[in-house]
């Protein structure tokens, strides 16, 4: 009964490959996010979708393309992987934003290593 689940948990791939990370939430939330945690543990938001629509798009290379087939899923596709893409990618979800503070629930993370 995992709330926010993402797959795969670990991914090792070569430079230049294209890979996807899938995320699903069963909390009935309207908003989903992708965050990136680098090797120094800094967490930074990448994208946010509300009801399948993109609402936050930080300065992320366009090799990263999120796709939301429905509001319970937000997948992250990465083209032409580079060494610097190695990080932990966290999917998260919350109720509709705009109200005075929503708890954001995170998945367990996907450890991406580009070699």
Nearest approach, Cβ of 107 to another protein (angstroms)? 6
Q: Which residues of 24-48 are buried (b: 16+ CB within 10 A; e: fewer)?
A: bbeeebbbbbbbbeeeeeeeebbbb
Site string for another protein, 88-107 (x = CB under 8 A): --x-x-x--xxxxxxxxxxx
Scanning the structure block, which residue is given the tokens 């367990």?
A: 108
| Cα R_g (the chain), whole angstroms | 13
Task: Work out whether strand 105-106 and strand 64-70 pair parallel, antiparallel, or are unpaired.
Answer: unpaired
Site string for another protein, 4-43 (x = CB under 8 A): ---------------------------x-x-x----xxxx
Nearest approach, Cβ of 97 to another protein (angstroms)? 4
Residues of this chain that interact with another protein (CB under 8 A) are 31, 33, 35, 40-45, 48, 55-56, 90, 92, 94, 97-109
């Amino acid at each position: 009964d995992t709330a926010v689940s993402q797959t795969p948990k670990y991914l090792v791939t070569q430079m230049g490959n294209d890979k996807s990370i899938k995320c699903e939430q069963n909390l009935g939330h309207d908003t989903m996010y992708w965050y990136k945690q680098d090797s120094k543990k800094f967490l930074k938001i990448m994208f946010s979708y509300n009801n399948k629509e993109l609402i936050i798009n930080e300065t992320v290379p366009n090799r990263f393309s999120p796709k939301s087939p429905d509001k319970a899923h937000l997948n992250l596709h990465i083209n032409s992987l580079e060494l610097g893409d190695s990080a932990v990618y966290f999917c998260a979800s919350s109720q509709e934003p705009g109200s005075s503070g929503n708890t954001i629930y995170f998945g367990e993370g996907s450890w991406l290593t580009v070699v």
